[in-house]
Amino acid sequence: MSLKILFMGTPDFAVPILKLLHESGHNILTVYTQPPKKKNRGQKVKKSPIHDLADKLNIPVRNPISFEERNEIDHIKSLKPDIIIVVAYGKILPSSLLCLDEILFINVHASLLPKWRGAAPIQRAIMNMDYETGISIMKIVPELDAGPVLIQSKIKINNEINYQELSDKMSILGAKLILDTLKLIKNDKLNFIEQNEEEATYAKKIQKSECKINWNENANKIIAKINAFNPNPGSWFELKGVRIKIIKAKEIITKKGKPGTVLDNKLTIACLENAVQILELKKEGKQKMNVLEFLRGHEIKIGQCLK
């Protein structure tokens, strides 16, 4: 039996899931995604990754600013979907939509709920130096990411993986779990389990103020932040008034010094505890490069203190 699906998603994370749904033979009625945005200070208008994929697959696309417009909810009712699948859509669905009869609302969430509810679960898991995270398939309720969970699957986090790498792995895992979910729906074997509210934690949206490197933190925490913000928005320090984004670095436990001090000619920087050796970096407006290439064009002296 082919299910009638309405898909809601926006970023790259949602792309493998929509692609696998399309290949599964189910009927994707419409894709909802965030409206196109102007890129690079108002130049070219750019569609979301999900919008681009839907266009390639010839799936109708809608970009409502708000679901409070009654005609949008009426349109969804007229489509009569069996299930609405939400993957990092970027909008909160109103109760007036969630209360529609005979529609199952499912969310693919990038954490092991109830841990890391909210907007930035992958980044927060890396920053918190969690040893694992995962995907949760849950029923959507009006409270943020608080609905009962159907399926979960875990994935390990090592101290070298960055946000993009972990997000890609989790997206593929989410696609697999959605297909498992559709099989359960078809076989009438859904069993949702309520979350333990006492264990809930929240992954708040990343703020720009968090992206600046604070050398007065421990080296392992700085490395975790660099990985969590790679490739975007990026962790940075300032050199002669210019932002330098750190792409890749490693912790050095054998070197110490005043936080922010350059300790050697390999651009190893002292932290509150241990040190960070920068391996790849990117000057504002330039291409990324390894540390040796960077140092050939920038004089940084041992003992210099970085901001």
pTM of the predicted protein model: 0.94
Question: Dihedral of CA 108/156/113/34: which sign?
Answer: negative
User: For 157-211, what is each residue's pLDDT tens digit?
Assistant: 999 999 999 999 999 999 999 999 999 999 999 999 999 999 999 999 999 999 9
For residue 114, is the peptide bond before it cis, meaning its omega torsion is within 30 degrees of 0? yes
Q: Residue 198 is inside which H or E element, if any?
A: none
Strands 4-9 and 27-32: parallel
Please state the domain extents for the chain.
Answer: 4-203, 208-297
CATH topology of domain 208-297: Methionyl-tRNA Fmet Formyltransferase; Chain A, domain 2 (3.10.25)
User: For 206-232, what is each residue's pLDDT tens digit?
Assistant: 999 999 999 999 999 999 999 999 999
Q: What is the mean pLDDT of each run of 10 residues along the chain (307 residues)?
A: 94 97 95 88 83 97 86 93 97 92 96 97 98 98 96 96 97 97 94 97 95 97 97 93 94 92 95 96 90 91 91
Give CA–CA dist 188/191, Å, rounded: 9
Q: Residue 83 is inside which H or E element, if any?
A: strand 83-87
A 10 A CB-CB count for 92 gives: 11
Give CA–CA dist 222/219, Å, rounded: 5
Residue 70: per-residue pLDDT: 67
What sections of the chain are H helices per DSSP?
A: 15-23, 49-56, 70-79, 95-98, 121-127, 163-186, 219-228, 291-297
Q: 233 with 206: CB under 8 angstroms?
A: yes
Give CA–CA dist 131/67, Å, rounded: 38
Nearest to 167 by CA among 207, 134, 204: 134
CB-based burial, 238-256: b 16+ in 10 Å, e otherwise: ebeeeebbbbbbebbeebb
Instruction: Assign domain 4-203 to its CATH architecture.
Output: 3-Layer(aba) Sandwich (3.40)
Side-chain-facing half-sphere of 143: CA atoms under 13 Å:
10
Residue 41: per-residue pLDDT: 62
CB neighbour list of residue 44: distance below 8 Å, 6 or more residues apart: 38
